[in-house]
Amino acid sequence: MNDQFIGEYRVLRKLGAGGMASVYLATHRDVPNLRTVLKELSDRRLVDRFRREADKLALLDGHRGICQIKHFFEDRGQFYIVMEYIEGPTLEDLICSDQPPTLAETLVIVHAVLSTLEFAHAQGVIHRDIKPTNIMVDRMGQVKVIDFGIAKGAADPDLTQVGTSLGSPRYMAPEQFGAKADVDWARCDIYAVGITLYYLLTHEFPFHGSDLFQMCEAKRTLDPAPPSSLNADVSPALDAFVLKAIAREPADRFASVAQMRLALADAAGQRPDHAVPRPDVTEILRPGSPAAREVPDADGPNGRRTPAPTPLAAPAAPTPPGRTTPAKPRGQRSPRTLAFAAVAVTVVVGALWGILSMRTDRRVAQGGEAAGDRSALPAPALLAPSAGAVANDARVCFRWRPVAGVAGPYTLELASDTDFAAARALSPVAGDSLRLTEPLSPGNWYWRVRAAATASTEAGAWSTTGAFEVASAAGEVAYVNVVIRPTGGRLQVGGAMMGVVDRERVPLPPDRPCTLVATHAKSVEKKLVRVITPRVGSENDIRFEFTPEAAKPSLVTVRIGAIRDGAPTNAAIRLAGGASIGEAPGTFELPAGRHEIVASGTYADGVWEGRQAVTLTAGATPPLVRIEMKRLR
């Protein structure tokens, strides 16, 4: 098969088609190993607009958090923009994976996005389509905002034209649906970041609608539920932060992304009463900290390069009342709850590599095997028991997030000292958990995990050190058998997150009330709570039954234009028998199925209307619907 060339670029494959452009993966004829993205402009009327876009994006050149434009050219009557190719998942990919971002990861990702937008807004450039699919993490861990394809200069006259309220309805601010001349577009970006954070925290959207009109009405009339109602790990401060960002009235939101970024530090510093504080993340985001002072990070036009951060001390595990924690040698790092803590420092200055290292087999790079027959593996991340936890059952259950692509074996070391001088090695361990069959004596314990050596790989790096305490001897414990239906629910016990639980035998401290919270994002109830006072030697069965939420209709993106006297025109768009859903020309999300779309308008020469029947299929290429209008009177 002959290679397909567009200008000097060899097309490798088509990546997709957006609302206004087809997108291809390509390489330059003279630099075959450098992949780029070609945007083919599908409408010649947009060429001038994208010329302006390229000029505006040039103002952002050098910021490592922004996808860069490389070239703009014409080939055989078609116009193309050449953009940087980013190899890595989108934020949407990460959210939908089996290892979605943790709360700490979420805060740092959003902080990086705000830093990038702060830089763009300072150059007078607005994004207008912030959403998880337009946020990526490249292979080196850099958070990047992509597709400034509808980016607008603050003084762009197109911002005031009817039918230019572009964006994705779930993430659009209420005022964006009308596209009035007095819209504060910077606060529309703030709103979109707030919706993105809400989705990251809860895996749900605060507003719902089966069509564009219902979505608009929900945003203009309903008050969103606080994220903590869906995720008990969300603090009151973070609740307030998110709700302020997605306030109905623009004036009630943050005044700027710079203000929003600073407010995130305060929100990150507060946790629910049951949660272990995260001074590492708070330090990163706090204004005035070494990391925060370097944001936004960029090799900007002035040539300034962000220096590497000074490593931050890890948080010490909390000491239970009545007990003391052994003194540690000077300079020794204390145990920390999450392996992400060290990664988070690097994120703020441009590297979220730790997220990818937990999701990508690092033996594969640029489409091939790494050099050599043997390769070291990265470290797994510890999950439970969390740092400072008090284990009421001496037969502790350990859980960790495995290295991507490595089911086992793993080696777990357990010691009563932080130096692991007399460590007890448990190996080989298959999978991602281990429950001890023998009791541990009361006191402080430390543990770490790494992938064991195999015939093809060296032993992996050790995880960070976990710390916990055994507060009761074997036998002084009660058990609860917990079942969550349908599957996919998450369980919190006494404020500690156990993660996704199908059926679990949970040890509890005896003779005192304990709260069990089950959450299920895809249910009607979202959260169910039970309080139990277990007794030593007793077995209690608790079943959480959630009502599955009704399946949401698949939405299909469709572009709608209206034609009057053979020329494009602005027109109100509605579904037959329904209310208005917006204005044409524009891009809409409609449920899959058959619809009759009506375009209408009153003009100087009378009232015009047109109808077009269309069948929308989920997964198909977004159709372009042109509605021919006729004069009624």
Amino acid of residue 573:
I
Maximum Cα interatomic distance, the chain, rounded to a whole number of Å: 92
**Tokens representing 66?**
């922004």
Q: What whole-number distance in Å separates Cα of residue 402 and Cα of residue 212?
A: 41
Which candidate, 314, 312, 342, 348, places its Cα nearest to that of 328? Answer: 314
Q: What are phi and psi of 513, to 5 degrees?
A: -60, 140
Q: Can you tell me whether residue 196 is helix, strand or coil? A: helix
Contact partners, residue 37, CB within 8 Å, separation at least 6: 15, 23, 24, 25, 26, 82, 83, 84, 85
Q: What whole-number distance in Å separates Cα of residue 50 and Cα of residue 68?
A: 14
Q: What size, in residues, is the chain? A: 633
Catalytic residue ranges: 129
Amino acid of residue 549:
E
**Tokens representing 131?**
């959403």
Helix (H) or strand (E) holding 143: strand 143-145
Report the Cα–Cα distance between both ends of the chain, in Å, rounded.
Answer: 57
Q: What whole-number distance in Å separates Cα of residue 277 and Cα of residue 274?
A: 9
Amino acid of residue 574:
R
DSSP string, 494-562: TTEEEEE-SEEEEEE-TTS-EEEEEE-TTBSS-EEEEEE---TT-EEEEEEEPPBPPPPPPEEEEEEEE
